[in-house]
Chains A and B, each alone.
Chain A
């Protein structure tokens, strides 16, 4: 049943998000092309009509607002979908299915995780398209990606640290999704004011978790800024333990929020 719920969740969201991501990459491509023409690196763009300048301005605005919009719209679509699936009219269809709450929740968490990653990939790809068009000295895509890899290598981050860092980012993304879902579940307990309840729950649980993080950080390092924000300043001997702690905390956070969401939706949900 997990696969079926997952399939329909992906279908329900993709009709909105895929065209959005496609449009974002197209805007990046057009913005890159018009900018490369007007900046006239090669002299080809001399004497271009004013309309190209206007198009460049409009496309630049579209590009930069689009980057933000991709993230915001993904966020809104995923929250709205979850909210209506469990608390809206769609809940009468979804929750009547012969499926456990855990399967409902897990499928939606995975869906949200994948779309969040895809929105990040879209943003990176848009920037990559732009950089690629600007970088005339780079003649092909392979060379372009090689140059990115070289840039990453020049940071001299050990491969294991990089792996742990990526893992901790992925887990943070998952725990962020579970945090949202837990907040909506907690908000559902406040019948009549579920939306406000969800927002307050999000702020409240976020505050509690940050405070807890602060205490844990202080206990670990005798400093309040234990968590991931100053990695570059941390001695190498500490790096693995810091990354390990980040991963452990993100995992604990994910499990806690997921359990809260599951418990409330399974044991206490009352559909209006």
Chain B
């Protein structure tokens, strides 16, 4: 059994099928790319893992348990949107994470914040969009979690920020943890991935190690993606 298992997982929105009978077994110690075009079901899969959506059928197990308070204590989640509470400043946010997550390493967060020159007393509402994204990422990666679910962590940020984000992920995740990075910007993340899941219209097209995909196809992941998912 993996740290994250999907069994015959299906999610429908009315008549639309967002995920169709997905079966996956992700094991610890890997950085896995969840790759696919916009609207392919990447965010839906991650939200199902966080119990923010309920499956239509099938199930998800994290560390052998259905999503709930226990699994949420194991999973560090970075959503694809701004979720910070405007009334807080960074210090209050640090307290918030410390209060709720036993695995939160406040020292690590403070170091990262200071390396970016982010004032801890600054109210979050006064921060730029880019700074808020960085704060969100720092909070997520400062947990010593068993599973990291990162939904589009590099979408909408400049190339320099992308480098920073990827460096932060690589240098802060626990080697025993599983990191799932959802993105359609494959070229940017390819170098850090161990495995890749290609997803299209809610179905898993391919799930394999990156080395194996490159060896079999003679293509980089980005080239494979462009060739496979190009519009006619």
Contact = CB atoms under 8 A, between A and B. Distances in A.
B131 to A, nearest CB: 17
Interface stretch (A47-55, A91-99, A226-234): A91-99
Interface in B45-66: 47, 50-54
B229 interface: no
B51 to A, nearest CB: 7
Given A96-B72, A98-B69, A12 B87 contact: yes
Interface string A1-35: 10010011001100100000000000000000000
Interface in B63-91: 68-70, 72-73, 75, 77, 79, 81-85, 87
B53 A271 contact: yes
A98 B83 contact: no
A135 interface: no
Interface stretch (A121-129, A153-161, A262-270): A262-270
B100 A97 contact: yes
Contact of A270 (B54, B73, B82, B96): B54
A225 interface: no
A99 B54 contact: no
Interface size for chain B: under 10, 10 to 19, 20 to 34, or 35 or more residues?
Answer: 20 to 34
Contacts of B72: 96-99
Interface string A86-127: 000111110111111000000000000000000000000000
Contact of B82 (A15, A89, A99): A89
A58 B13 CA distance: 54
Contacts of A8: 96, 99
A147 interface: no
A210 interface: no
Contacts of B79: 92, 96
B191 to A, nearest CB: 28
A90 B72 CA distance: 16
B101 interface: yes
> Which of A7, A97, A99 has its CB near the most chain B CB atoms (within 10 A)?
A97
A214 B164 CA distance: 65
A12 B85 contact: yes
B52 A92 contact: yes
- Chain A interface size, as a band, is 20 to 34
A95 B50 contact: yes
B114 to A, nearest CB: 23
B158 to A, nearest CB: 23
Interface string B8-50: 0000010000000000000000000000000000000001001
A224 interface: no
B208 to A, nearest CB: 30
A117 to B, nearest CB: 22
Contact of B87 (A15, A93, A191, A270): A15
Interface centre among A91, A92, A191, A269 (most CB of B within 10 A): A92
B52 A271 contact: yes
24 contacts: A1-B100, A4-B100, A8-B96, A8-B99, A89-B82, A89-B83, A90-B83, A90-B85, A92-B52, A92-B77, A92-B81, A92-B83, A93-B85, A96-B72, A96-B77, A97-B100, A98-B69, A98-B70, A100-B68, A267-B54, A269-B54, A270-B53, A270-B54, A271-B53
Interface of A: 1, 4, 7-8, 11-12, 15, 89-93, 95-100, 191, 267-271
